[in-house]
Homo-oligomer: A and B are copies of this chain.
Amino acid sequence: MKLTRREFNRLLALGAGAHFIPNLHAQTEPRKTGYCIVGLGRISMQHFMPAIKNSAKARVTALVSGHRDKAERMATEYRVPTSSIYSYDNYDAIAANPNIDAVYVALPNSMHAEYSIRAAKAGKHVLCEKPMSTTVADARAMIAACQHAQKKLMIGYRCHLEPVNLRAVQLIRDGKLGKVQAIESTFGFNIGPNEWRTNRKLAGGGPLMDVGIYSLNACRYLTGEEPVEIDAHSSVIDHDGRFTEVEENISWTMTFPSGVVASCNSTYGATMPGFYRVHGSRGMLNLDNAFIYEGLVLRADIDGAEPIVMRSPSPDPAHFAAEAEHFADCIQQNQQNKAPGEEGLRDMELMMRIYDSCKRPAA
C-alpha cells in the first residue's frame, strides 16, 4: 500500500497512523507490538507483564481491570498512560486505541470467549490463555470471530515454544527413542478453598480444564497424533466443600492411531508436579516440572548412549516472553502462529470427550 504524504498525515490525525509506522520503519526499528492486558491476576501480573518488560518486540500498552487502583499501580510500573486503562464496562473502547495491537486475555475461563470475541470485533489480535473457553461452541465462535475480523488468534500454550519441551519433541521425531509405545503424564495440585477454579460457572470444569490440559496437549505434541479412543474416570475424595461443582481427581487414557497409549492424571487434591515420561523401543525420556515456568529437567536414557540432560533456568522469564514475542512476530509478519485457535479447539473437544467418558459405566 502506498500513501501520499497528505493521506498519511490525515491518517495520523485520525489516530490510525500508528498502524502504518512499523511498516514504514521496518528496515530500521520495528515498532513493538502493543498488548492490552485483560485481567490483572497472578498470571498477567506475576508472569506475562514482567516477562515482556524489557522485550524488544512487545510491550504493555493498555490494561483492563475491574480494580482501578490495581490498574493504576500497574500502569505506573509499565508506563501505560491512564487513558489506556479500561474497565469491563468500557472494554470495547479499546477499538479506538491505536497503541493496542493485541489483547492478552487472562480472565477466568468462562470469560475467555466473550473478551476474545469483543477484542476481535474491536479490531485487535487475540492471545488467549488456555483453556480457550469452557465449551466447544464458544471455542468455535472465537475462531469464527477472529476469522471474520481478519485478526489472529493464539492460545497460551507456552510449551509449544519452550526449549526443553521442544527438545523432547525433537528427540522423538529424530527417532532417538525408537518407536514410542507409551506415555505417562500428570499435572495437578492441592487447591485452596474458595478459588474461582472450583466454580463450574467460571472454570467450566475442574483440574482437567486448568492443568490436565497440559498433559492432554503434551501427549498430542509428543506423538504428533490425535487420540482415537478415550477412557476416563473422575472422583471426589475430599468432601470438604471444595468439590461440589467440579471433579477433584481425573484420570484418562488415550489411544493413538500408531497404538501408543497415553495415561494421564490430574488433580486438585494432591501434590502432582507437571511430568511426562515417554517410553520408546530404544529408550525413555523423562521431563520433570514439564509445564511450569522454570526448572524443567529433561533426561533421556537412550540405549547405548550417555544420558541426555537439559535443564531450563530458575527463574526463567523467557516462557511468557517467547509467547508474547512469537505472537508479535506473527502479527508483524502476517504469519500463522504455533498455537492457533484450532489447536485450542481440539483440546476443548477432547476434554469434553474425557468428561463424557467419566459418565459412562466401566467394567
Which A residues are within 8 Å of any B CB, using their own CB? 177-182, 184, 186, 188, 190, 229-231, 233, 235-238, 248-253, 255, 258-265, 267, 269-273, 277, 279-284, 301, 303, 353, 356-357, 360, 362-363
**Shortest distance in angstroms between A32's beta carbon and chain B's nearest beta carbon?**
42
Q: List 13 A-B contacts (CB under 8 A).
A: A179-B269, A181-B237, A181-B267, A186-B277, A229-B233, A235-B255, A237-B259, A238-B281, A251-B261, A251-B263, A252-B253, A253-B263, A270-B279
Taking each of A182, A253, A263, which has the highest tally of chain B beta carbons within 10 Å of its own beta carbon?
A182
Query: In the complex, what residues of B have CB within 8 A of residue A180's CB?
Result: 270
Q: Please pick, from B237, B259, B272, B363, the residue contacting A249 in the complex, using a CB distance under 8 A.
A: B259
Q: A358: shortest Cβ distance to chain B, in Å?
A: 10
CB pair B279 A267 closer than 8 Å: yes
Cβ contact within 8 Å between A233 and B251:
no
Interface centre among A180, A236, A261, A262 (most CB of B within 10 A): A261
Task: Collect the chain B residues with CB atoms within 8 Å of residue A265's CB.
Answer: 182, 184, 261, 263, 279
| Listed residue (A178, A270, A303) with the most chain B CB atoms within 10 angstroms of its CB | A270
* A279–B284 touching, CB < 8 Å: no
- In the A-B complex, list the 8 residue pairs whose CB atoms are closest, starting with the nearest: A235-B259, A270-B279, A181-B270, A251-B261, A263-B263, A237-B259, A229-B362, A231-B231
Complex Cα distance, B182 from A235, in Å, reads 10
Residue of B whose beta carbon sits closest to that of A184: B184
Cα of A48 to Cα of B233 in the assembled complex, Å: 40
Copy count, this protein chain = 2
With both beta carbons as reference points, the residue of chain B lying nearest to A251 in the complex is identified as: B261
Is B179's CB under 8 angstroms from A255's CB? Answer: no
Whether A363 pairs with B258 at a CB distance below 8 angstroms is no
**How far apart are A244's CB and chain B's nearest CB, in angstroms?**
15
From B184, B188, B283, A186 is in contact (CB under 8 Å) with B184
Q: Is the CB of B258 within 8 A of A237?
A: yes
Q: Is the CB of A284 within 8 A of B272?
A: yes
A186 CB to closest chain B CB (Å) equals: 7
Q: Closest chain B residue to A248 by CB distance?
A: B181
Residues of B close to A188: CB separation below 8 A? 182, 279
Q: How far is the CB of A166 from chain B (nearest CB, A)?
A: 22
Say whether B236 contacts A249, CB under 8 Å.
no
Rounded to whole angstroms, the CA-CA distance of A244 and B150 in the bound complex is 53
A332 and B309 alpha carbons, distance in the complex (Å): 52
Q: Tell me the bound Cα distance from A255 to B252 in angstroms.
A: 11
CA distance A190 to B259 in the complex (A): 16
Q: Whose C-beta in chain B lies nearest to the C-beta of A235?
A: B259
Q: Which residue of B lies closest to A360 (CB)?
A: B363
Whether A184 lies near B263 (C-beta < 8 A) is yes
Residues of B within 8 A of A282 (CB): 190, 271
**Nearest Cβ on chain B to A291's Cβ, whole angstroms:** 15
Q: Is the CB of A235 within 8 A of B249?
A: no
Whether the Cβ atoms of B248 and A270 lie closer than 8 Å is: no
